[in-house]
Structure 1
Amino acid sequence: MKKILVPLLVLVLLCVSLAALAEGNEAITVELNTTRLPLYEANDPGVDLFRAEGAEENTLPVLLVPLKKNLELRVTVMPKDLKNRKSVLTVDDEEVARIRETTLYTRNAGETILTIASAMDPAAAVQYRVIVYQPVTRIAVTASEKAVAVGQTIRLTADILPENSAMKEVEWASQDEKIATVDGEGNVTGVKRGTARITATAKDGSNIKASISIQVNQNPEEITLDKPELTIDTGRSTAIRATVLPKDANNKNVVWASSDESIAKVNADGRVTGVALGECTIICTDKQTGTVQASAVVHVQQPVTKVTLGEAPAVYAGETAQLSWTTEPANASNPSVTFKAGNEKVLTVSEDGTITGIKAGETWVTVMSTDGSNRQAKIKVRVYQHVTGVHMKRNTAYIDLRTKSTTTAILEPDTATNHNMTWVSADPSIATVEPIRNQPQRISIYGVSEGVTVITGTTEDGGFQTSIPVLVGHWEKSLKIQEAKVKGADALLKVKNVSDLTITSIKVEVSVFDNEGKPVPCNSKDDSNTYVMTYKKTLEPGDVTKEKDWKTVNFKLPDSPTVHEYVVKVTEFEIDHDWIKVIRKNNQPTQKCPVHL
């Protein structure tokens, strides 16, 4: 319904001109200012909604006036130079409305004709059809329920009061169409979870409104289970977790049920307990609608209750051995087991319990059930290493007459398990041999008489042999001090090789004393009064050491100014880069040298 408009679509004065001609005068016109009046064209479709039943058709412009509302009418009579510019306002049905001066007062719903005429010339007049209607005073919006699910629709009803309201149509609107929409019939459709306010506004221009809050709920659409299939033991339980989608569903509560409680039961939290061997289905249903479901297949099995291992087998590196084991009870659903070696650098174990030795050592082997019962047993398995060879650490043994010296046989590989060996001397009248206690590879050789013999060792594992030549003689007398002049790190020391041996290194100890014969600290390492000098040049028979080739070890200048004497002793030497000869104290070549450098 639209009001009467003038060009440019703005409300201006409506001018209806009627001419009352008199000799020598302008035409008199009556004008009604309609700027703020509810004026409509006669053929406006909206006007028909307010017409009283049986009212005749009329082509006059229409003033729609709600009951109990008065209109102030502003009238202009032209031309301006008229002596009497007053107007006369009348209605043809005062039961509908009355006129007092320039005000129209409504009385009852109905129609009347408003005539506005010039007081000077009643023929100069304009007319309007006045429709007085009962406006809406109250709207009550109701709904069968104030909640709707996303994607579903509910119908709202708008009750108009009073019952004789001229127009009972309303316009529906949603405060937030992202949550809910409403059509012209009051049908509300949920869009997303939330609350939307739906408003009904009277179409009669009274601006009467009423609202209702509609909660849009997100119903569950899907249920997913974290365990769509599971296997459990009799008497054991496990939980199934249900996820209700979408995430914004209002009610995520679910109901659990078992298809056969003699096989498995499920509690309200989704915890499934195995009852007896068999298979059943656990069903999860949403509590909101009772129509969305998910299910899980449950296999109930007899678990392994015990695993037993047999005795640990003997296994050598590079060889295999078989483990033996049993599982209980005999009717276990899955009696299979897995094996694991604690240290796979020592041994490995295959799926069928075959052990393969890698290297000598010990480690645990664990056997565990695979049915989830976590039953296990373990056993310590030792891997042995066969001897593959043997050799002597030294090439030749130089033994002094009526003295003992030791040497060692080296087993191959060094991880060999069995170290036992037997030893014999080719000529016990020259030298005897015996193993060191608890060290069967290490032997003590005793020089019986001057001469040469051979000591031979045989391994218990594999029977491998090794030998070392033994020379018995007076080897401690192989060196002689010819000259010794020492003062701290400065030394003139001459030692001669008086044997027929090739000597490849010499070790000398130098001790420092004051004039009272008391020790003077001179060792930077242990603060003792003895330091070491070494000679690492080869001395053939008859050779003498050279002064420049001596090296001083751990020496510091003595604090005492009263150093009186240095004592030089040859303590050990090496023969041919092989045999270390440690000279017994009583036989060490010794020379005292007062300070005089």
Structure 2
Amino acid sequence: MLKATVNPSNATEKTIAWSSDNPSVAAVSNGTVTAVKAGSATVTVTTQDGGKTARCAVTVKAKTVAVTGISLNKASLTLTEGGSETLTAAVAPENATNQQVNWSSADNQVATVDNAGKVTAVKIGETTVKATTEDGGKTAECKVTVTKVAVSSITLSKSAYSLDVGQSIQLAATVQPDNASFPSLTWKSSNEAVATVDAGGLVKAVAPGTADITASADGITSKACVITVNEVEGIEIADVAFKNILLKIADADHNGVITSEEAAALKGISLNDDQVKDLAGIEHFNNIAGANIISKGLTAVDLSKNKKLKEIFIIGSSLADYNLSGLGELEKLELNFSDGKNQPAINLNGSTSKITYLKVQSAYLKSLDDLQINSMSHLKEFQCLTNCVESVVLTGTSALEYIDLSVHASYLRNALAVIDLSGCPELKVFLSHSSPAVQAIDFSKNTKLESVKYPSGMKEIDLSKLPATVRDLTIGDYGEEPSISGTEHLVGLEYLTLYGTSMTSLDLSNASALKSISIHNAGALKEIWLKQNSEVEVTGAGAGDVTIKYK
């Protein structure tokens, strides 16, 4: 009830009229305001005399209806893994003011529920989904059961396949539907003597014949993949010891047979077995780049069919025949037949154009003719050790940088009488030993020489013939006393090893770079002259008998 006061209090005309601008929300009659529905309205009172007004804002609040209960459209729900369904909640009464519902799952690992009541199955099991009203905390529940998705079909990636003995194939299985639930696939072979299959579907061929491969799960079995296994003809290797070595390194599928494909895949052969007497069959391994062969049982080696060979190392005391012809890619060659009694036949026709390293060792090597060294234009290192070679004339070897003609056997002195190095302008290292017939070596063309070991047996050594580039020098042998001259030319010398000399005095005062002198059994030598203020380390068994002087 609103009350209006007209001013002044003694006004003659006090008649007033009431009105509402929104009677559907609030109506007014003689000051009495009646709420109709929720909303806002303005009540106005107006004087008849002068039209004076006063207003009152009226707000009508809705009537609160409390929640008395809640129900769900389903009391129970069954879903398969990954499936979903939305539950519907009904709040009572229908006109309850607060219709808000909160959803929850007793076990989210079995099934989850979102704010809209959508239930999603996670894994097999049971849980309860609850709907709770915000007003009054009224609840309703639905029991949710999650079951597995059953397998309807299994299809293999192949229906038939052919394999050679020792080969394998990986089969795959497609299970429908995509979301089917099963612990694992079970693979089976109908004939494991022919083909086996593992838990992952890998099929291996065992012996000639046929076998059906199937996969099963959840009581469903696929159609079979028919595997046909064929007999394999492998490479024939007659020598049992050689075959056993090859099986270890080339038989990729371990079926006791080396196929041409397996032979082609091998990049190198290495054997050290005196039981190997025959290398027949090695020609099938035509992609090998390296061959390391050690056997006292071999009498012949034929690698002429292995055209991709780049490196060969052979030791064999009974070898009489080497066929290494036609190997145009050959870069490194090492032959050792030091226990043999005769020089073997060595065929290097067509194999010398790319050789950069050559080492040959044999007490019975008398000639280098078979080695065709003078056709090795790329040869950089040549070692001819423990031999009876009479002559070394190197005229086609302009790339040579390293030569070793040493004999490392106390019972042997080689027969070298001629050493011609004029065709080796790039030579940096020259080593020789036990060559009593050599009395002079011309180094005038070897202007890049850095290290020299003179042949033992030389009676006079003229060091003026050495280029000034020599830094490391070895002279003499135990029990030998060569005469030495020309030491004033050794201006670049850094290291000197002296095994014997007839000289009583040695002048090295021009060797300003000298760092070390090693003296052994140089009984005649009494004094060494060095450059003033030089610091040279003098060692060796005979160092204590020599006086060091400076100038």
TM-score of the pair, normalised by structure 1? 0.30
Q: Of the two, which has the highest radius of gyration?
A: 1
TM-score of the pair, normalised by structure 2? 0.32
Higher strand share: 1
Using CA pairs below 8 Å that are at least 6 residues apart, which structure has the higher relative contact order? 1
